């Protein structure tokens, strides 16, 4: 028996599969924001399955990302190389919204008075320019402890090239008896770009204590039910990992909820013979879209917590998911200029939409669907949640209709139309902006409200095929059952492709493979079960960002740079519509 649970902003889902009989069990319950494990317990009770029969328990949640977005994480201190104290606060000089007069830079999770400088220096190629001062680390620990730090993020300059000073600092912190949760940047991300590396490490420490406590409660619940199998936690990259790894690197779980559906959509598209598809997931809080190309979800090297305009960068591999605030809980309101807005503000799981009867007072997309007769008032959540259709219609007429001279049905239809337009933009963003015509794709719609709006989105974008999978409201949990144990490792080798020594690449690959194998063995995986995939992050000289380019083992052994370069040119042409094969190339990250 395999069990998967997915905690969303409004509902918690459970799917269990018995490989012997082929039986599938499923359950759904509301999510309690004060105790995420309560929804899991209710789902286990409702499903009727025995946890003692299970060999694997897979789990994805919004605990880490909610902790960051709501800024309810640990009081965190940051240790940096002397002279780099303000790198985290300064960030990047670009202004994403050039014409927004009210643009605000992200507020750091670590204030300046909790940022401490360490005496040490390492060069960009890993050479030690100044030894680590033990006393400066001790002084920083004492100062951080005196200021009530619950977590420490250590991010020393160029530690991606040589982590020795960070390892030495960690030993000093441990020897001091400091009880704080500690994150080391080289363990989270061995890649250059100082600001993004600091931001990622800080977020890992910021959410670490709360995530560790949550995983501890989850382990206790499973132990109380005599679960004796393995537990795995969903990652943002579409794989799963052991709870011990998740406790050390919770930043890798930030987007664990949305990616499960993308994994399942990719597998379904492959079985149906669909080459390109868009996975569309509409839940209670947000709507999400991800591109499936050639049977695999598109990946990204980074993302932003809080949105790309003014969010905090996390430079870790993630399934490329675009989110918009137009989920079922998206609040509809008329602004001061008389325009009707839907989202991004959400009623969330509590108090939720008005029709739920949990105290909500502002109309939402779910209320609009209820008022239009698209939701059965007596069978919602299997009949456990009778919907108050009249209250939803009255709120729409009062808060939306009276400003626009519309009755309740017309107001509800206007809300749905705007929500569909916003969701269609997300689908365009992962198709047109990724070099694919939506007319060449299928739309795989799931989530509690995805199938309800899928055909309208498809008509808007001229998508010819819509696929509604079985149990669409549990599809993300299904995807977790299909996920592999996966870990991503990255090293920066900043060289021109034509100048790189193949022997150097092979040596780095051997080190990374050994590190990967050690972690997988610790999670119960044998060497015969391990598969490796190797990529080079390439760009043309003068470009800022890279394209992930696969490299085959024989090319790595033979030093075949011509084949790698040709593959990069082909990817660049598919992604951006142009190619420059005669341009000098540069490789930045392996």
Helix (H) or strand (E) holding 425: helix 408-431
What is the per-residue pLDDT across 271-300, written as a single tens digit (0 to 9) for each? 999 999 999 998 877 788 999 998 889 888
Q: Is-contact 587 548, C-beta < 8 A?
A: no
Nearest one of 465, 70, 456, 439 to 285, comparing CA atoms: 70
Q: What is the pLDDT of residue 586?
A: 47
Residue 141 phi, psi dihedral angles, 5° rounding: -65, -45
Q: What is the pLDDT of residue 584?
A: 60
Q: Could you tell me if 290 and 298 are in contact, meaning their C-beta atoms sit under 8 angstroms apart?
A: yes
CA–CA distances in Å: residue 259 to residues 296, 300, 463: 12, 12, 22
Using CA atoms in the order 101, 107, 108, 109, what is the torsion angle rounded to 10 degrees? -160
Asked whether the beta carbons of 96 and 308 are under 8 A apart, the reply is: yes
Does the pTM surpass 0.75? The reply is: yes
**Calpha distance 75→84 (Å, rounded):** 21
| Partners of 183 in the β-ladder | 153
- SS3 letters across 335-357: CCCCCEEEEEEECCCCCCCHHHC
**Secondary structure element (H or E) that encloses residue 391, with its range:** helix 389-396
Which residues are paired to 589 by β-bridges? 492, 537
Q: List, as one string, the DSSP characters of 146-176.
A: HTT-SEEEEE-TTTTT--HHHHHHHHHHHHT
Phi, psi of 70, deg, nearest 5? -80, -5
Residues of the chain with pLDDT under 70: 308-309, 349, 584-590
Question: What is the per-residue pLDDT for 219?
Answer: 94
Which pLDDT score is estimated for 336?
79
CA–CA separation, 107 and 386 (whole Å): 42
Contacts of 29 (CB under 8 A, 6+ apart): 11, 12, 39, 42, 43, 46
Give buried/exposed letters for 533-553 (b at 16+ CB in 10 A, else e).
ebbbbbbbeeeeebbebebee
Inter-residue contact 1 to 471 (CB < 8 Å): no
> What per-residue confidence (pLDDT) applies to 181?
97
Give yes or no for a contact between 543 and 583, defined as CB atoms under 8 angstroms apart: no
Q: Token digits for 107?
A: 């507020």
């Amino acid at each position: 028996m395999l069990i998967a649970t997915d905690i969303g902003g409004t509902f918690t889902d459970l799917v269990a599969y018995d490989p012997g009989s082929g039986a599938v069990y499923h359950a759904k319950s509301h999510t309690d924001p004060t105790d995420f494990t309560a929804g899991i317990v209710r789902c286990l009770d409702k499903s009727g399955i025995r946890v003692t029969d299970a060999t694997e328990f897979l789990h994805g949640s919004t605990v880490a990302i909610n902790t960051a977005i709501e800024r309810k994480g640990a009081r965190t201190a940051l240790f940096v190389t002397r002279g780099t104290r303000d790198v985290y606060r300064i960030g990047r000089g670009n202004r994403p919204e050039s014409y927004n007069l009210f643009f605000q830079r992200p507020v750091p999770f670590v204030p300046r008075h909790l940022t401490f400088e360490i005496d040490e220096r390492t060069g960009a190629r890993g050479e030690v320019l100044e030894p680590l001062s033990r006393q400066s680390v001790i002084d920083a620990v004492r100062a951080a402890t005196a200021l009530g730090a619950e977590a420490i993020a250590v991010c020393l300059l160029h530690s991606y090239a040589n982590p020795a000073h960070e390892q030495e600092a960690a030993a000093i912190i441990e020897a001091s008896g400091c009880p704080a949760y500690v994150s080391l940047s080289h363990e989270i991300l061995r890649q250059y770009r100082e600001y993004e590396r600091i931001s990622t490490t800080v977020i890992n420490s910021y959410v670490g204590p709360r995530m560790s406590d949550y995983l501890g409660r989850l382990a206790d619940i499973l132990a109380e039910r005599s679960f004796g199998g393995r537990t795995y936690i969903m990652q943002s990259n579409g794989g799963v990992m052991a709870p011990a790894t998740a406790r050390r690197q919770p930043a890798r779980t930030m987007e664990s909820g949305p990616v499960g559906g993308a994994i399942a959509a990719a597998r379904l598209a492959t079985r149906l013979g669909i080459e390109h598809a868009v996975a569309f997931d509409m839940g209670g809080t947000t709507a999400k879209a991800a591109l499936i190309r050639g049977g695999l979800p598109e990946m990204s090297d980074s993302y932003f917590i809080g949105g790309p305009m003014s969010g905090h960068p996390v430079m870790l591999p993630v399934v490329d998911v675009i989110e918009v605030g137009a989920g079922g809980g998206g609040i509809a309101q008329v602004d001061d200029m008389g325009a009707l807005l839907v989202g991004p503000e959400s009623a969330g799981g509590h108090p939720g939409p008005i029709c739920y009867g949990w105290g909500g007072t502002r109309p939402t997309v779910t209320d609009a669907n209820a008022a239009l007769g698209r939701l059965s008032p007596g069978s919602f959540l299997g009949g456990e949640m009778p919907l108050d259709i009249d209250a939803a219609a009255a709120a729409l007429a009062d808060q939306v209709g009276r400003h626009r001279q519309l009755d309740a049905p017309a107001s509800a239809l206007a809300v749905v139309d705007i929500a569909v337009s916003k969701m269609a933009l997300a689908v365009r963003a992962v198709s047109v902006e990724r070099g694919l015509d939506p007319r060449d794709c299928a739309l795989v719609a799931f989530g509690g409200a995805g199938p309800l709006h899928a055909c309208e989105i498809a008509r808007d974008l001229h998508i010819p095929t819509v696929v509604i999978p079985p149990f669409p409201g549990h599809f993300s949990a299904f995807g977790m059952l299909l996920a592999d144990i996966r870990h991503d490792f990255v090293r920066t080798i900043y060289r021109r492709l034509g100048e790189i020594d193949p022997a150097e690449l092979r040596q780095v690959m051997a080190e990374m493979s050994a590190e990967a194998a050690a972690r997988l063995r610790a999670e119960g995986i044998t060497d015969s079960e391990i598969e490796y995939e190797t990529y080079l992050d390439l760009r043309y000289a003068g470009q800022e960002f890279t394209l992930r380019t696969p490299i085959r083992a024989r090319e790595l052994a033979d030093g075949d740079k011509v084949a790698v370069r040709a593959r990069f040119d082909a990817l660049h042409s598919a992604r951006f519509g142009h190619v420059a094969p005669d341009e000098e190339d540069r490789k930045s990250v392996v």
